[in-house]
């Protein structure tokens, strides 16, 4: 093949591989408020959205469209101070059918104690894939970016554009993976004080309600054949975050032995301590 035709081919394939439809980051165009009786508001002409909660009710929004593989980025600033019992979410769900779901849930805490970022994946109705993290910053002090990357090969959870968890598609080994039906992007602020904070011991305190969580710069990038791979840097980051900040891991409970074995051997060199329970806090 001559140089010019191969570079032409390269150019051609690059333009095919990288043509993606990216939303403009407009909550008016891409989302609709689904509940909350006026407690959810789109602001700044569509660039931002706030969810509020009081004793009576929380609020939520979801994408107007559903997606079969996409990358979802949003910036969030969580409720400051005492947010015990309050759960702020950003997740994907099939809503119906055989249930698929990919969760990022921020579990509030009392003033001065850390939020927990709770992640989970359901595939065809099967869940119990929880991993929880404390963050290395105060997520209520300013905006940080949170992302869910979902493509046919893997799901990647990211914080400030750094991978913190990856879930590989191991369907070829019989492990269910959400790949058969589209999902909606959903976000909500709700009262989870039966279980969320310090295992439900600490309830929401409504004295200073309403409480508000902020979302902005939503970007939905539809999948266009460009599976996002993990770089060495991503793998290093995942190991480091899981070593220092992970507070529980479903793999320690032995619920999904096959995938845990695989994912650990792929991404994790930390010694396996068989009866350690939740990973120690830093």
Ligand X SMILES: *[C@@H]1O[C@H](CO)[C@@H](O)[C@H](O)[C@H]1NC(C)=O
- List residues binding ligand X (CB under 6 A): 107, 109, 113-114, 116, 152-153, 196-198, 205, 207-208, 225-227, 247
Q: Which two tokens stand for residue 139?
A: 């997520």
Alpha carbons within 13 angstroms on the beta-carbon side of residue 113 total 12
Half-sphere exposure of 55 (CA within 13 A, CB side): 4
As measured in angstroms, the least distance from the Cβ of 247 to ligand X is 6
- Is residue 101 part of the annotated active site? The answer reads yes
CB 119, min distance to ligand X, A: 13
Instruction: Please give the angle made by the CA atoms of 79, 27 and 114, to the nearest 5 degrees.
Output: 20
Q: Of 101, 130, 153, 235, which is the active-site residue?
A: 101
Q: What is the dihedral angle through the alpha carbons of 24, 28, 29, 35, rounded to the nearest 10 degrees? A: 120
Mark whether 96 is an active-site residue: no
Element housing 120 (H / E): strand 116-122
Helices and strands, counts by H and E, the chain: 4, 15
The tokens for 120 are 């989970």
Query: To which H or E segment does residue 264 belong?
Result: helix 257-267
Among 44, 96, 105, 168, the active-site one is 105
Interior angle at CA 224, CA 222 and CA 225, nearest 5: 135
Where in the sequence numbering do the catalytic residues fall?
101, 105
């Amino acid at each position: 093949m001559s140089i010019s035709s191969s570079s032409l081919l390269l150019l051609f394939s690059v333009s095919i591989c990288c043509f993606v439809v990216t939303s403009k980051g407009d909550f008016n165009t891409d989302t609709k408020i689904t509940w909350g009786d006026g407690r959810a508001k789109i602001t700044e002409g569509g660039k931002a959205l706030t969810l509020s909660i009081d004793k009576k009710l929380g609020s939520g929004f979801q994408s107007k469209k559903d997606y079969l593989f996409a990358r979802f980025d949003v910036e969030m600033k969580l409720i400051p101070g005492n947010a015990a019992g309050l759960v702020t979410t950003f997740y994907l769900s099939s809503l119906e059918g055989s249930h698929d779901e990919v969760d990022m849930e921020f579990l509030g805490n009392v003033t001065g104690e850390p939020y927990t970022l709770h992640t989970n994946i359901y595939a065809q109705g099967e869940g119990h894939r929880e991993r929880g993290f404390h963050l290395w910053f105060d997520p209520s002090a300013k905006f940080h970016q949170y992302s869910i990357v979902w493509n046919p090969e893997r799901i990647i959870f990211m914080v400030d554009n750094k991978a913190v968890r990856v879930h590989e598609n191991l369907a070829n080994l019989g492990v269910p993976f959400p790949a058969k039906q589209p999902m909606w992007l959903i976000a909500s602020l709700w009262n989870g004080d039966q279980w969320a904070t310090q295992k439900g011991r600490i309830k929401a305190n409504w004295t200073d309600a309403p409480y508000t969580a902020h979302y902005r710069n939503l970007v939905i990038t539809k999948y266009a054949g460009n599976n996002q791979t993990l770089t060495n840097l991503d793998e290093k980051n995942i190991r480091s975050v899981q070593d220092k900040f992970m507070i529980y891991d479903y793999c320690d409970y032995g619920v999904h032995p096959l995938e845990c074995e695989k994912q650990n051997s792929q991404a994790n060199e930390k010694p396996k301590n068989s009866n350690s329970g939740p990973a120690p806090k830093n």
